Structure 1
Amino acid sequence: MVGYRRNRIAGATYFFTVTLRDRRSDLLVREIDALRDAWRAAARRVPHTVIAAAVLPEHLHAVIRMEDDAANYPRLWQDIKKGFTRRTSEPGSPSAWQPRYWERTVRDEEELQALVDYVHINPVKHGLVGAVAEWPYSTFHRYVSNGWLPLDWAAAPDVGGRFGER
């Protein structure tokens, strides 16, 4: 078995992509309340702050600052995945999730901003909506209500930018 090395730094911020096994599924948005409940339960065990997140039908992206001394994001994702599976599957059914996830340590403020933008623009990039504001499963709406972004952010048809790519 491959031994994965994870960069775990207390107080660090990470970018995650977590995916379902079936890339044609819409389970995450169809069962969004179960995902939210599983995430809330996991947050009670593994302290963290969600800086940005977008849930798409079969995967999600999140930028998270770990608030625990161990930066135990492996346990966070394990708890979220197990909690969601318990809420949405028959007992004994296999997990809908891919067994692993992709994570990246955020190195600086410029990268953080690019990744937050990437998370928020992702539903548009996948062709799910024409404007970021149209996608309901995103922290973009929190950014708008806090005055951090305008409602029409990235709404122009010729929107350009580095949205997370280097």
Structure 2
Amino acid sequence: MNHNEIPKLERLRASLTSLIALAEAKTIEADPDGRTMAELEHDGDLPVPIMDARVQLALLGRMIEAQPVQDGHQLVPMEPTEDMVIDGFEAASEFRDSPECAEMSGCQASAEAARICYRVMLASARGVHLSYADGELVSKVPYGAIIERVKGGA
């Protein structure tokens, strides 16, 4: 995150806080037993979207308070995670099997495979899982699964 993003994140935090408050008010209003938010939470009846929004709000707060990272840089683990290694290796292998790779010299292909592996590993460190297909990096998660998760499904 750079310094220019902080005001945007502050506005996002304010909006998210307002939306959570509204969702909590509507949840309390709709509860047939007239429980408070604390009681709903204690009983394990807090709606998943509200829990998710609270987590996002906490993460957003940490992002705002974190020391900014230079443009073009990101923080990653000191040692790659298993997901990072697997995603990077698979994407580089997919590239090696592609028609684009076949058209390159050995050095060019190796350099491009390393760049693809690196970009995929960095994305994986952020929890974004990519693969190489049809000459580009694409999400491993089908679009429908993302929409379903956002709607509160699986």
TM-score, normalisation: structure 2:
0.24
Structure 1 or 2: larger strand share? 1
Structure 1 or 2: larger helix share? 2
Higher relative contact order (CA 8 A, sep 6+): 1
TM-score, normalisation: structure 1:
0.23
